[in-house]
């Protein structure tokens, strides 16, 4: 059955791969990012494969902007009943160097953004008696040097997910989280630059520590999202799936 999906942070990386996968699964997809023009490649890829998509520009941390974006999606594609909260930023630094703005910005985009998007979309899910929310967490939720803000945000995504599962389950809505391990994206490239390591060397070193012997790709996460939003996953809710190429602890 064709549904309308919103994927945030979908201009590139995991978000783009997820939007493309959900469109391939037959859903109409709103490709949402801070700047709609940055989503052009993702939309073009989807439409080139015969799918339906359009770009939406919105700051997920802005309540009015979020509501306007959801209203626009509803008018263009139909009421959204699938939501993937992927939007995120990093402002890595050791605790004694981390500024209040570093902390606030990361928590705002990840957690406030997921809260605002979920609150806006759940109305349509409840009315439909069916819905899927997928939140992007991270193995950093378990703690990671230089990422006090990001780790806290990603741990918070797991708590948010479980609470949404409790509150929305009676309406046919599931909520699950995906916690990626090392994935080759612009974000991990930025981390390599921050610590002064060549990206190829950074990826190769990470792969040596991963049991399956390779770094993850955005499509690995998109595949997990595809399952969570499927009809068959209706009895799976409140779960955190670590997609990291091996055990995480």
pLDDT above 90 covers a percentage of the chain that reads 93
- Residue 117 counted as domain residue: yes
Query: CA nearest 146: which of 92, 102, 192?
Result: 92
Q: Are 181 and 243 in contact (CB under 8 A)?
A: yes
Tally of domains within the chain: 1
* Distance (Å, whole) CA 5 – CA 83: 6
Query: CA nearest 149: which of 111, 92, 190?
Result: 92
Q: Give this prediction's pTM.
A: 0.97
Query: CA nearest 155: which of 166, 165, 173, 140?
Result: 140
Average pLDDT of the chain, as a whole number? 97
Choose the catalytic residue: 115, 130, 150, 182: 150
- Residue 194 counted as domain residue: no
Backbone phi and psi for residue 170, each to the nearest 5 degrees, phi listed first? -65, -15
Residue with the bigger pLDDT between 228 and 249: it is 228
| Structure confidence by residue, pLDDT tens digits, 144-177 | 999 999 999 999 999 999 999 999 999 999 999 9
- Residue 209 counted as domain residue: no
pLDDT at 213 over 80: yes
- Residue 188 counted as domain residue: no
Determine the length of the chain. Answer: 249
The pLDDT of residue 1 is: 82
The pLDDT of residue 186 is: 87
Query: CA nearest 7: which of 47, 56, 41, 49?
Result: 56
Ramachandran sector of residue 38 (left: φ over 0; alpha: ψ -120 to 50; beta: rest): alpha
pLDDT at 249 over 80: no
pLDDT at 47 over 80: yes
In this prediction, residue 42 has a pLDDT band, given cuts at 50, 70 and 90, of: very high
Q: Are 13 and 31 in contact (CB under 8 A)?
A: no
The pLDDT of residue 133 is: 99
Query: Which residue range(s) make up the domain with 83?
Result: 4-181+216-243
In this prediction, residue 129 has a pLDDT band, given cuts at 50, 70 and 90, of: very high
| Structure confidence by residue, pLDDT tens digits, 12-22 | 999 999 999 99
The pLDDT of residue 189 is: 87
- Residue 210 counted as domain residue: no
- Residue 186 counted as domain residue: no
| Structure confidence by residue, pLDDT tens digits, 82-108 | 999 999 999 999 999 999 999 999 999
Burial of 220 (0-12, 13-18, 19+ CB in 10 A): buried
pLDDT at 131 over 90: yes
Residue 144 sits in a domain whose CATH number is 3.40.50.720
- Residue 207 counted as domain residue: no
Dihedral angle, C-alpha 187, 138, 123, 26, nearest 10 °: 70
Q: Is there a catalytic annotation at residue 150?
A: yes
- Residue 138 counted as domain residue: yes
The pLDDT of residue 248 is: 86
């Amino acid at each position: 059955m064709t549904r309308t999906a919103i994927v945030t942070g979908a201009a590139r990386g995991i978000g783009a791969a997820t939007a493309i996968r959900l469109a391939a699964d037959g859903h109409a997809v709103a490709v949402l990012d801070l700047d709609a023009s940055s989503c052009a490649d993702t939309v073009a890829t989807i439409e080139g494969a015969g799918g339906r998509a359009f770009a939406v520009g919105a700051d997920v941390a802005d309540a009015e902007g979020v509501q306007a974006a959801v209203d626009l999606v509803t008018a263009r594609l139909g009421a959204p009943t699938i939501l993937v909260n992927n939007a995120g930023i990093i402002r890595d630094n050791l605790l004694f160097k981390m500024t209040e703005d570093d902390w606030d910005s990361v928590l705002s985009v990840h957690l406030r953004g997921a809260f605002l998007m979920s609150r806006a979309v759940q109305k349509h899910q409840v009315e439909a008696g069916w819905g899927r929310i997928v939140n992007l967490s991270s193995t950093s939720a378990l703690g990671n040097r230089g990422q006090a803000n990001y780790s806290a945000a990603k741990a918070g995504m797991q708590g948010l997910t479980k609470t949404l599962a409790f509150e929305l389950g009676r309406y046919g809505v599931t909520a699950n989280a995906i916690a990626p391990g090392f994935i080759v994206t612009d974000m991990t490239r930025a981390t390599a630059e921050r610590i002064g390591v060549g990206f190829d060397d950074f990826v190769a070193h990470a792969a040596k520590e991963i049991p399956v012997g390779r770094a993850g790709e955005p499509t690995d996460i998109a595949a997990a999202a595809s399952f969570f939003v499927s009809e068959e996953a209706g009895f799976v809710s409140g779960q955190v799936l670590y997609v990291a190429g091996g055990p995480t602890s």
